[in-house]
């Protein structure tokens, strides 16, 4: 009986765990000791990498200086191998003149891709770092400002500008579907917070008028805008609001003009008020502007819904002033074809004036058809002498004698 031999089991070799290799540790043809040297040396320390980066930056700066000296380049001009200084409109640039650098060669400044944006609720205009984003004028964007994450509108496409310091504002992304849903939620929260705050104000009988509630797009802060004639102690109100809304609360008191901007309304012209539609800042308006434009000095005619003078009085003020310099003054003697006359009324827009003739009749004629008579030298000298007497200060010796 033959014994059958069992097949011998084959031993399996144990696989040794291989160490992870980096891209620099891979063997190259003709370099057998590259892997061993890389393992022995280990990773490059951070300080050494930083020194190498600083050394490379200094070499680039020295090369640029050497090219300028060799080519005799005028640093005040802009060449094709440099980024072009693209300035925006004058009204956009005037608020940030301190941060912007003149279009000249400055080694300390940096070229940054920036764009101007507008916050719709507060009408604040700011400049932000655009990074690598691509958008055009009028696109809605999400920004990171000193207040938090907000929504805004791009006033221009990104352009390169030279800045000295760091730009704090930054454009994160374009407005998308998720941002639309978040905006709807914030609007619902703002309406609920407005009703809640008004109820608490009535319960505590605080002398303040709540205008609007703004929830920032990030959702971490709620701003309550109100007006008040006097200072209001709302510390307990903030505690109750924070306990019920579970968010940060900021109470901001505004004036009557800012209140009209936040609430909006219809002006005397029948359109939406300018401050809520396109104005980004308030300019000083005086009653002199209404006088130069020959408007009725009726408070109801020259005042807006805020109770202050109309902002639109400033729009044509400079044009009226330029025309008034060429117009004859009221009460001046002029010479016409029919004889001498006196100016009684001036119509600046039409370029005409109403004259009173010697016989008492009235006549309207353009300015270029009349001749201005020269004022008498004696009366002019007397007026100058009286003005000098009024503005002249008495000597100290006479003042001491009076004492």
Task: For residues 108 and 53, give the distance between their C-alpha atoms in angstroms, rounded to a whole number.
Answer: 17
Whether the per-residue pLDDT at 67 is higher than 50: the answer is yes
Average pLDDT over residues 261-290: 89
In which band, very low, low, confident or very high, does the pLDDT at 213 lie, cut at 50, 70 and 90? very high
Average pLDDT over residues 208-213: 93
Q: State percent of the chain over pLDDT 70.
A: 69
Which range (15-29, 168-182, 239-253, 314-328) has the least confidence? 15-29
Task: Go through the domains of the chain in sequence order and give each one's CATH number.
Answer: 90-175 (no CATH), 180-254 (3.30.300), 261-323 (no CATH), 328-378 (2.30.30.140)
Task: For residues 318 and 137, give the distance between their C-alpha atoms in angstroms, rounded to a whole number.
Answer: 30
Digit-coded pLDDT (tens) for 350-400 = 888 888 888 888 888 888 777 776 554 444 444 444 444 444 444 444 444
The single-letter DSSP state of residue 368 is: G
Residue-by-residue DSSP string for 308-357? SBPGGGGTTHHHHHHHHHHSPPTT-EEEETTEEEEEEEEETTTTEEEEEE
For residue 339, what are its two tokens?
Answer: 């004889």
pLDDT, position 182: 92
Whether the per-residue pLDDT at 45 is higher than 50: the answer is yes
Q: State percent of the chain over pLDDT 90.
A: 29
Give the HSE-up count for residue 81: Cα atoms under 13 Å, Cβ half-sphere.
5
Contact 258, 276 (CB under 8 A): no
Average pLDDT over residues 229-233: 88
């Amino acid at each position: 009986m033959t014994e059958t031999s069992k097949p011998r089991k084959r031993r399996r070799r144990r696989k040794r765990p291989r160490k992870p290799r980096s891209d620099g540790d891979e063997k190259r043809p003709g370099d057998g000791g590259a892997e061993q040297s890389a393992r022995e040396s280990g990773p490059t320390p951070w300080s050494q990498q930083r020194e190498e980066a600083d050394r490379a930056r200094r070499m680039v700066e020295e090369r640029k200086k050497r090219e300028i000296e060799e080519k005799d380049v005028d640093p005040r001009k802009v060449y094709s191998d440099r980024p072009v200084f693209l300035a925006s409109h004058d009204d956009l640039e005037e608020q940030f003149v301190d941060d912007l650098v003149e279009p000249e060669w400055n080694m300390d400044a940096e070229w940054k891709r920036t764009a101007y944006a507008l916050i719709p609720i507060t009408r604040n205009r700011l400049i932000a770092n655009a990074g690598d984003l691509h958008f055009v004028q009028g696109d809605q964007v999400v920004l990171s400002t000193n207040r938090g994450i907000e929504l805004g509108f791009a006033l221009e496409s990104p352009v390169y500008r030279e800045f000295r310091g760091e730009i704090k504002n930054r454009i994160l992304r374009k407005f998308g579907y998720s941002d639309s849903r978040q905006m709807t939620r914030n609007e619902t929260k703002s309406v609920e917070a407005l009703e809640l705050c008004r109820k608490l104000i009535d319960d505590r009988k605080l002398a303040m008028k709540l205008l609007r509630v703004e929830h920032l797009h990030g959702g971490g802060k709620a701003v309550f805008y109100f007006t008040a004639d006097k200072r209001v102690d709302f510390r307990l109100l903030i505690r109750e609001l924070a306990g019920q809304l579970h968010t940060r609360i900021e109470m901001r008191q505004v004036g009557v003009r800012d209140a009209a901007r936040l609430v909006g309304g219809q002006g005397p012209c029948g359109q939406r008020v300018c401050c809520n539609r396109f104005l980004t800042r308030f300019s000083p308006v005086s009653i002199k502007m209404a006088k130069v434009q020959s408007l009725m000095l009726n408070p109801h005619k020259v005042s807006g819904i805020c109770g202050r003078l109309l902002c639109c009085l400033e729009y044509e003020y400079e044009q009226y002033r330029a025309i008034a310099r060429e117009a004859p003054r009221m009460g001046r003697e002029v010479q016409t074809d029919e004889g001498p006359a006196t100016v009684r009324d001036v119509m600046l827009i039409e370029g005409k004036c109403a004259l009173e003739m010697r016989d008492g009749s009235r006549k309207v004629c353009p300015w270029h058809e009349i001749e201005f008579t020269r004022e008498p030298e004696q009366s002019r000298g007397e007026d100058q002498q009286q003005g000098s007497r009024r503005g002249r200060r008495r000597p100290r010796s006479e003042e001491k004698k009076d004492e």
